[in-house]
Structure 1
């Protein structure tokens, strides 16, 4: 019996929430005067007259994306290329959208097939990420085949239509996040990989990282991802306008074919279809397993997701292990040292490229210093006695970094990146003994409401604060009332109103999506739909027996199994080995070669 036979059913339990989920019945409200004032203030602060990014985003345009809705095998909507047609380049930001985020969404919405340089092409805005196609001597190399097989296939068809049918000779995964490998079966046939006709390259630790992230905590991560990417929101000016890194995730078939060639060493060089790739490993930067490279013949840096046109996450709001900003900064510095004197182009697997050596180096330096500043100043302020939340509240980037478009917090944010950096070094405890063992939220909320004179008294004061534009405090204090009494619809509505205005003011796409999804849920309840799940059959099949047994262990109800004591001998055949599983004290331990 093989491990994939054991776990196949686990992967079929759910799928991504479809973009066609039923929208909430209650219409969103307008932006208040306070929100309009806040958004106008930011507009006056930033250099909106600089149109360089728009020039670069249009450069090399060859063909638009097909406009037909992409459907899955079950008739589900995988991708609607027209869902963001309301975001038009040149239009003023609506009152309900942060003007900086609106600008970013306008840029991301510039979609189609583009030529980066001779023989290098990108397909943009057919998914959350880009797919890059590099022409070589014998065929093409595909970099990061999107989230879903369906979108990846449409992207390949667009390329073939405009550049002719060339065989895929290689695929490269830049890193271990699903939007960079999930569509691989829309690009190549696994039989061609197994026969050696197609090689798949990936950084060291790729499979372990890809499987661990999408399986072990995949259920809660996937549910939170539906908030982060706004999958439950209607795409419009009062709903989802993008995620800052891309528009949103496709909702198709997530696939995975194991790499055949692992980049094991930093500085490893490989000739792939006649082109020389100088690889740089960057583990623990934007992903646990990640790599950048330089193509010598093209004078081109592929920065994966370590250098993009946004301040990225050092912590993803969907939930993930914290990423270290200091090594991240140092990897970018290595790129400057190794390739900065010769690179003429830098491109990533999100957003648009940058051309010209001076511009390339300036982007690299600015992003290098961005992550270093967050690391160093968080620690400086912590050492001076400030707590996590105090640091985030008082943290400001220097103008030279803050006023650079590529450093704005469209996906990450200064606030939550700083908090993550604090936790990375110091953990969750802020050193205040009063926070060492706080009451759980529901119990504490009932006490707060009682101490503050009851729900009606709180709501009366909160409405005054709302009218004064104090939306952060209203959301915070009214949340106590909702936790104390989830059926108090007046409290739910007021908290929703506050979250909505915070969403309209948010520069970060994920912040906006979380706020507006929360507001929608408070008003209308939880939208019922398929359970989002990145644990596709391919991902599950890729688990080693050890990974599967660890996965099994986290599904044991420790309380119910506390008194159970059992031993199981598992024989997976000659290719899988023998294992002993021991259930005792509410845990399952496994031993190989039993």
Structure 2
């Protein structure tokens, strides 16, 4: 193994290489950069820019800084950023309070998402209060500086992603909700989807999100410049208040504070629980996150369930048919509005056609026998003229990973080639590849020549074999980092850029030990408090290390005092299962507790012992069985390796 322990890590990235500059020039000549209509629309209706430099948390740390991206104000893109991406980064940096139309106002540039403020007859309706309560409160304060200070009477969550509900306690008091003074409206299934997405695969998703959003990167022309849907996610306090009213029918009309609103459910589109809204008297259509000024994800690279582009396309067309001719403005939960009936129709038609094309063309090609990577090579871009629309560009989703997601949705992970049915594990395969190619030094020598030739994708792929075969080989890590860095500079996709640059950073410097999320696993306390008993048992099942419970066959009854409900939890064959509304007579032990303790017990190994000592939990029967179960649960690290081999410390 070749290592260079004397090397000083580079704190700032390299310059753009000639091949990267060539691709940037090609981008400048292939897209309509002279079209500045988006800048006109992004500034339209500006009432006031943010009145503060930053938003602070209670502990004094910064939740959001309004000048963190001031470097994007120059018009010409630096050579280390794709010109198309630079254009979007400038647009997404336009922040403040905007008037969309009569009675509809928008807070933009305070977070990844927008907060829409609707003026009712006597109060306000807040739609999607951002990621965290500090920035949501700051946005409402900016509104109050320029509009009458009316009370918030209702909050609407358009869908079940955290950037659309996390700031709710910054705009309303939960006590007022419980007292019936404020309503919380959401699509059916909102709470279930909200909690489940953040719990079962939460640790892995949060770690992968660090790559996707670039939260660990410095902000700058050689670092994080944007996140596609907005600049970044705020770093404040994530909150949640459960809905008081669910929208259940496909189309429902309600009058809220004198304002008629038509709700259109769109389940299975951008989120499992999502809805559009139409305001008939205002001739305004809200498309939630179903239509953005970029191509969205069929499968987000942080990880999630694969979305359905066919149903997504269907609901876009349904919204167009229902509301297109009756709308003068279209606004959404990201980016800036679209004004004018003709512009709205073209925008929705193009968005509809984009997702339908990704679905149908992938299916056409897979039915010809093409594999996922074959299809991505064949479908390098959308067809013209939609490929020339700025709102269809690969800023967040991409043609490349979206068509692979469609393939996965219909065909699964296997490409039907038997050679790929049972491949060697990653590290063993890497070691054998490197050995067959003549050893690490031979691979690196040839890879350096490929780097000089601008073949960065190949360099990243082949040198990754050396890194996984010899994780401590710093020259290999440096060369792969250099290749990933150039790929980051080239791409117009924000999530790809962030992932490439985060990988390069960790190759050069290692995983930052400070990213550990603590006892909660990085899950917001309000989300934890929403866990149901069934979800709690699902968490235990995921955390159960089957090897530690080999040969154990037992049952434990759980009793929840508030609801006087019983659950029988069985452990057999290293698998944890449960039955609701069941109390088994042959259970080895019975646990009695408050449901409010579930988040604590599910995430901290020592929590049960402490709860028993404080008499918040009582156990009857064989307490040793309970102790053994809790001792068998894995604790997940929020800083596991990604760009180098993962390490499983305890099998």
Distance 2:90 2:422 in 1: 46
Shift of 1:503: 0.3
Q: Cα offset for 1:73?
A: 2.2
Shift of 1:527: 1.6
Partner residue in 2 for 1:504: 489
1:101-129 alpha-carbon deviations (Å, 9 max, x no partner)? 10001000011000000111111010110
Contact 1:142 1:172 in 2 (8 A): yes
Query: Partner of 1:492 in structure 2?
Result: 477
Residues 61 and 113 in structure 1, CA contact (< 8 A), matched pair in contact too: yes
Q: Which runs of 5+ in 2 are unaligned?
A: 1-8, 583-651
Alignment partners' CA distance in 2, 1:321 and 1:335: 24
Other-structure match for 1:345? 329
Q: Does 1:413 align with 2:401?
A: no
Q: Give the Cα separation in 2 of the matches to 1:26 and 1:129.
A: 31
Q: Does 1:434 align with 2:422?
A: no
For residue 237 of structure 1, report the CA deviation from its aligned partner: 0.3
Q: Note the C-alpha offset of 1:398.
A: 1.0
Task: Report how far residue 534 of structure 1 moved.
Answer: 5.2
In structure 1, stretches of 5+ residues that fail to align are 1-23
Q: Report the CA distance between 1:591 and its aligned residue.
A: 1.3
Whether the 8 Å CA contact 1:545–1:576 is kept in 2: the answer is no
Structure 2 residue 271 is the aligned partner of structure 1 residue 287: yes
- The TM-score, its normalising length taken from structure 2, stands at 0.86
Determine helix, strand or coil for the equivalent of 1:237.
coil
Task: Say yes or no: does 1:86 pair with 2:74.
Answer: no
Question: Which residue, 552, 555, 575 being the options, matches 1:567?
Answer: 555
- Indicate yes or no: 2:341 matched with 1:322: no
| 1:269 counterpart = 2:253 | yes
TM-score (norm 1): 0.95
Indicate yes or no: 2:110 matched with 1:126. yes
Contact 2:444 2:476 in 1 (8 A): yes
Do 1:202 and 1:261's aligned partners in 2 also have CA atoms closer than 8 Å? yes
Kept in 1: contact 2:10–2:508 (CA 8 A):
no
Which secondary structure state, in structure 2, belongs to the residue aligned with residue 346 of structure 1?
Answer: strand
Q: Kindly provide the CA deviation profile for residues 143-179 of structure 1, in whole angstroms up to 9, marking residues without a partner as x.
A: 0000011111111111111112110000000000000
1:99 aligns with 2:83: yes
Q: Secondary structure at the match of 1:283?
A: coil
Cα shift at 1:350: 0.3
**Following the alignment from structure 1 to structure 2, what is the Cα–Cα distance between the partners of residues 538 and 577?**
23
> What's the secondary structure of 1:121's corresponding residue?
strand
Matched-pair contact (CA < 8 Å) for 1:67–1:82: no
Greater CA drift, 114-123 or 526-535? 526-535
**For residue 181 of structure 1, what is the aligned residue in structure 2?**
165
- TM-superposed CA distance for 1:516, in Å, is 0.4
Match of 2:531 in 1: 543
- Closer, same or farther in 2 for the Cα pair 1:536/1:30, shift >3 Å? same
- CA gap 1:113/1:435 in 2 versus in 1, 3 angstroms: same
Match of 1:148 in 2: 132
1:13 corresponds to which residue?
none
Deviation at 1:306, TM superposition (A): 0.5
Q: Does 1:360 align with 2:340?
A: no
Aligned counterparts of 1:28 and 1:564: Cα–Cα separation in 2 = 53
SS at 2:67 equivalent:
coil
- Displacement after TM superposition at 1:60 (Å): 0.2
Alignment counterpart, residue 74 of structure 1, candidates 53, 59, 67: 59
Q: Aligned pair 1:58/2:46, yes or no?
A: no
1:367 Cα deviation from its structure 2 partner: 0.3
Q: Distance in 2 between matches of 1:437 and 1:415?
A: 25
1:241-256 alignment, distance < 5 Å: 241-256=225-240
Shift of the alpha carbon at 1:75?
Answer: 2.5
2: distance between equivalents of 1:416 and 1:43?
Answer: 24
Q: Which residue of 2 aligns with 1:378?
A: 362
> 1:25 offset after TM fit, Å?
5.5
Q: Using CA pairs below 8 Å that are at least 6 residues apart, which structure has the higher relative contact order? A: 1
* Whole-angstrom distance in 1 between the partners of 2:158 and 2:75: 35
Q: Which residues in structure 2 correspond to 1:568-587 (within 5 Å)?
A: 568-575=556-563, 577-587=565-575
* RMSD, matched Cα: 1.1
Counterpart for residue 369 of structure 1: 353
SS at the partner of 1:341?
A: helix
Q: Following TM superposition, by how much is the alpha carbon of 1:507 offset from its aligned partner in structure 2, in angstroms?
A: 0.7
Q: CA deviation at 1:64?
A: 0.7
**Residue matched to 1:331:** 315
Cα displacement (A) at 1:564: 2.0
CA distance in 2 between partners of 1:474 and 1:250 (Å): 35
The alpha-carbon deviation at position 56 of structure 1 amounts to 0.4
Q: CA–CA distance in 2 between the matches of 1:397 and 1:579?
A: 51
Q: Partners in 2 of 1:157 and 1:60 — Cα distance? A: 18
Q: Quick one: distance in 1 between partners of 2:564 and 2:493?
A: 46
Aligned counterpart, 1:213: 197
The residue correspondences of 1:37-52 to structure 2 (distance < 5 A) are 37-52=22-37
Matches of 2:562 and 2:215, distance apart in 1: 44
Query: C-alpha separation between the residues in 2 aligned to 1:574 and 1:235?
Result: 48
Q: Is the 8 A contact 1:66 1:81 kept in 2?
A: no
Candidates 553, 576, 581, aligned match of 1:588: 576
Structure 1 partner of 2:148? 164
Other-structure match for 2:611: none
Distance between the aligned counterparts of 2:345 and 2:406, measured in 1?
Answer: 26
Using the alignment, how far apart are the partners of 1:539 and 1:438 within structure 2?
39
